[in-house]
Amino acid sequence: MIEKILYAAKEAGEIIREGFGKNVAFEYKTNKSDIVTEIDKKAEAAIIEFISKEFSSHNILAEESGSTNNSSEYTWVIDPLDGTSNFKHGLPIFSVSIGVMKNGETLWGVVYDVMRNVFYSAEKGAGSFADDKKLSVAENDDLSNSMLVTGFPYDIKENPYNAIERFNDFLVSSRAVRRLGSAAIDLCYVASGVFDGFWEVHLHPWDVCAGKLIVEEAGGLVTDFEGNQIDIFSKQILATNGKVHSQMKEILWRRGKM
């Protein structure tokens, strides 16, 4: 299965790479921060066409075209272009994210870092990899020495969950905070040991399905802000190397009840 997912991600990635740097058509979704390009749609169509040929009975949950329910125990969760704003503005940080669930549990995940041409992958119980290199989270256990990463939701002007204040809290509590613009890549960088922790609110299932598994299979911990287990529909995510998790959770709690 992982080879099939890798193939689908590569097909989508080639469409994205071909369109990068060109004047592609786009439209607004919920607001001017939330856009979709013709490349998002073409990449998603390629993945769905592949699934239809190889696994015609499987369910699909995709960012742009919604859900297809065939009453299968398998569901493909697809983000054809995570980091659309980066792509549109010529910033080469974006990815293809595909997770496959069986009876609600993610068993396989692939995130394709398109412009670096790196495939992150994980299979439940078999570890995480960047291409053929096995991944492991960072060993750092001191938040003040940590490099963190986050993102802001499309409704940031409403400041959900005190997102702006919590961002400021981490700025002064860690070594540095980065904001890359692709949650799937953020999660893979936690799995790789580049970042010690990642937090965000109001993500979607396709943003986290594959990346969550990749972090966990690399030895990391993924919960909500209170430390509870989450699924792909949760509105909060805290993903860390496990060693700074409680410290990050404490910072998040400074702003009161979640």
All domains of the chain in start order, with CATH: 2-134 (3.30.540.10), 143-253 (3.40.190.80)
Of 195, 192, 211, 191, nearest in space to 203 by CA? 211
β-pairing, 59-62 vs 66-68, is antiparallel
* Side-chain-side CA neighbours of residue 147 (13 Å): 13
* Amino acid 57: pLDDT: 97
CA 122 to CA 224: how far, in whole Å? 21
Q: Which pLDDT belongs to residue 255?
A: 76
Compute the distance between CA of residue 142 and CA of residue 85 in angstroms, rounded to an integer. Answer: 33
d(CA 184, CA 233): 15
Widest CA span in the chain: 51
pLDDT in tens, the chain (258 residues): 999 999 999 999 999 999 999 989 998 887 777 889 999 999 999 999 999 999 999 999 999 988 999 999 999 999 999 999 999 999 999 999 999 999 999 999 999 999 999 999 999 999 999 999 999 999 999 999 999 999 998 888 899 889 999 999 999 999 999 999 999 999 999 999 999 999 999 999 999 999 999 999 999 999 999 999 999 999 999 999 999 999 999 999 887 654
Which residue reads 């949950």 in tokens?
A: 61
Count the Cβ atoms, other than its own, within 10 Å of residue 228.
Answer: 11
* Matching residue, tokens 């921060």: 33
Q: How many CA atoms lie within 13 A of 93 on its CB side?
A: 13
pLDDT at 30: 77
Q: Is the dihedral of CA 4, 86, 160, 171 positive or negative?
A: positive
